[in-house]
Chains A and B, each alone.
Chain A
Amino acid sequence: DAGVIQSPRHEVTEMGQEVTLRCKPISGHNSLFWYRQTMMRGLELLIYFNNNVPIDDSGMPEDRFSAKMPNASFSTLKIQPSEPRDSAVYFCASSFQSLPRLLVNEQYFGPGTRLTVT
C-alpha cells in the first residue's frame, strides 16, 4: 500500500516567491498533519485537519503560511511570500481518528519536502 506521498521532495526558491507543498494522505485516513523540522526547533506541528476541516492552526508561524484540504486525498501548504527563515523540511502525516473517544491512532509520515529559500 502506498504511504503518505509528498511533492516535491526538494524545492529551491528565491525569497519572495510563492511555494506550494503537496500531500496525499494514506487512503482511508481522516486526519492530516503538517509539520516543519529544523535543527534548532525540531519537529513543530503547523496545522492539522480532521475530515478535511482545519482543527488547530495555532502552529502556523504567520499569515504568510496557509493550508488547505479540498478533499480527503489532497492537501497543500502554501508560503507566500517565502523568506530564508522558512528553509526547513516540511512533513505531512496522516492517521485515522476514531470517534467518539477521539482516539488518534498512529501517525504515518511522508518522506518530506526539503525547502531552501535563498
Chain B
Amino acid sequence: GQQLNQSPQSMFIQEGEDVSMNCTSSSIFNTWLWYKQDPGEGPVLLIALYKAGELTSNGRLTAQFGITRKDSFLNISASIPSDVGIYFCAGRIYNFNKFYFGSGTKLNVKP
C-alpha cells in the first residue's frame, strides 16, 4: 500500500514558538488534507489542498501543497497551549476514492 512519511513524530516547544511538520509520499497525490486530533475525539479537518504549489491559511495555520505533488507542509505560528494534539496529514491519488494517512505528529506546547 501507499506509504506516507510524516515527521517529526513528536515535538516539544515553548508557547509562542513557530512549528513546522511535513509529509512525504512515494506517489504523486492530487489532494492533501491536514487534521488535528484531540484526546478522545475524532480528527478535525484543518486545511484542504488541491493544487500543486497551493498555499492555504486557516488562522495561525498555513499549509502548502508541494510542487512535486509528493509532499505537503503544515506550519503553526505563535503556538499556544490549545495547539496541543496530534496532527495528521492525509493524501489522495487522483481517481482513487480513499485517503492515506500519515502516522501523526504529536505536538506538546509548554506555557
Contacts and interface: CB of A to CB of B under 8 A. Distances in A.
Given A33-B98, A48-B97, A106 B45 contact: yes
Interface of B: 31, 33, 35, 40-45, 48, 88, 90, 92, 95, 97-99, 101-104
B42 A42 contact: no
Interface of A: 4, 31, 33, 42-43, 45, 48, 50, 55-56, 91, 93, 97, 101-112, 114
Given A43-B43, A97-B97, A109-B44, 8 more contacts: A31-B97, A55-B97, A104-B92, A106-B48, A108-B45, A109-B43, A111-B42, A114-B40
A45 to B, nearest CB: 6
DSSP class of A's interface residues: helix, strand, loop or mixed?
strand
Nearest to B42: A109
A74 to B, nearest CB: 18
